[in-house]
C-alpha cells in the first residue's frame, strides 16, 4: 500500500505508474504460463513435468473445450483430418493477438499451413517431442513476444 501522507504528492504520483507496470507484467506472465494441453490420450507424466518447471497446465480432449487464454498445446493424433486441424487452430486463435498455439504432429509438412499465421502465433513441432523440447518452445522469447 502506498502511504500518501509520508511523501510529497509528486513522489506518490510517480510511483503509481511503476506499480501499474508491475501489475501488468505479472498478469502477462501468469497468462503466458497457462497451458491448455489437448490430447485424446492421458498425459499425466507430461502434465506433471510441465507443472514442475512452473507452468499451470489444464488438460482437454479437444481444442474447442480449451479456454481462449495463454497457450494452446495440441498433440494431434494420427486420425485427425489436416483441414480440421488448420481450421480449429485458426478458430481458437481468432483475432486475439496475445494467444499462442503449439501444434505437435506426425505430419508437420502436411500441416505447414497451420503455422502460416502472419502474426507468428503458431509453432509447429514434429512428433515425438520430449518434455524439455516443449518447455524450450514455450519459453522461446521470440515466440512469446510475437
Domain spans of the chain? Answer: 33-145
Q: Are 143 and 120 within 8 A, CB to CB?
A: yes
Average pLDDT over residues 113-127: 83
Q: What single string gives the DSSP state of each residue in 61-130?
A: SSGGGS-SSSEEEEE--TT--HHHHHHHHHHHHTT-TT-EEEEEES-TTTTGGGG--TTS-EEEEESS--
Is pLDDT above 70 for 17?
no
pLDDT > 70 fraction of the chain, expressed in percent and rounded: 73
Which secondary-structure segment (H or E) carries 7?
none
Closest by Cα among 45, 102, 104 to 77 = 104
What fold, for 33-145?
Answer: Rossmann fold (3.40.50)
Q: What is the pLDDT confidence band of residue 37, given thresholds at 50, 70 and 90? A: confident
What is the distance between the alpha carbons of residues 56 and 59, in angstroms, rounded to a whole number?
10
The pLDDT of residue 27 is 45
Res 19: pLDDT? 58
Q: Would the pLDDT of 66 be above 50?
A: yes
pLDDT at 59 over 50: yes
The whole-number pLDDT of residue 30 equals 46
126 CB neighbour count, 10 Å cutoff: 13
pLDDT band at residue 11 under the 50/70/90 scheme: low
Evaluate if pTM is beyond 0.85.
no
Average pLDDT estimate for 8-31: 53
Q: Which helix (H) or strand (E) holds 39?
A: none
Q: What is the pLDDT of residue 43?
A: 85
- Which residue, among 95, 89, 90, has the nearest Cα to 76 in the 3D structure? 89
Give the C-alpha separation, 144 to 146, whole Å. 6
**Residue 101, class by beta-carbon neighbours within 10 Å (0-12 exposed, 13-18 middle, 19+ buried)?**
buried
Amino acid at each position: 500500500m502506498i502511504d500518501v501522507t509520508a511523501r510529497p504528492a509528486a513522489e506518490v504520483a510517480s510511483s503509481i505508474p511503476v506499480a501499474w507496470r508491475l501489475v501488468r507484467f505479472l498478469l502477462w506472465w501468469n497468462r503466458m504460463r497457462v497451458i491448455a494441453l489437448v490430447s485424446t490420450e492421458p498425459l499425466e507424466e507430461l502434465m506433471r513435468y510441465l507443472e514442475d518447471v512452473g507452468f499451470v497446465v489444464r488438460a482437454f480432449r479437444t481444442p474447442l473445450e480449451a479456454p481462449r487464454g495463454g497457450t494452446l498445446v495440441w498433440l494431434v493424433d494420427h486420425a485427425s483430418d489436416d483441414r480440421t486441424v488448420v481450421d480449429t487452430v485458426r478458430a481458437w486463435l481468432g483475432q486475439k493477438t496475445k494467444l499462442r498455439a503449439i501444434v505437435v504432429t506426425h505430419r508437420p509438412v502436411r500441416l505447414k499451413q497451420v503455422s502460416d499465421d502472419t502474426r507468428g502465433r503458431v509453432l509447429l513441432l514434429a512428433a515425438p517431442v520430449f518434455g524439455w523440447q516443449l518447455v524450450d518452445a514455450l519459453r522461446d522469447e521470440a515466440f512469446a513476444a510475437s
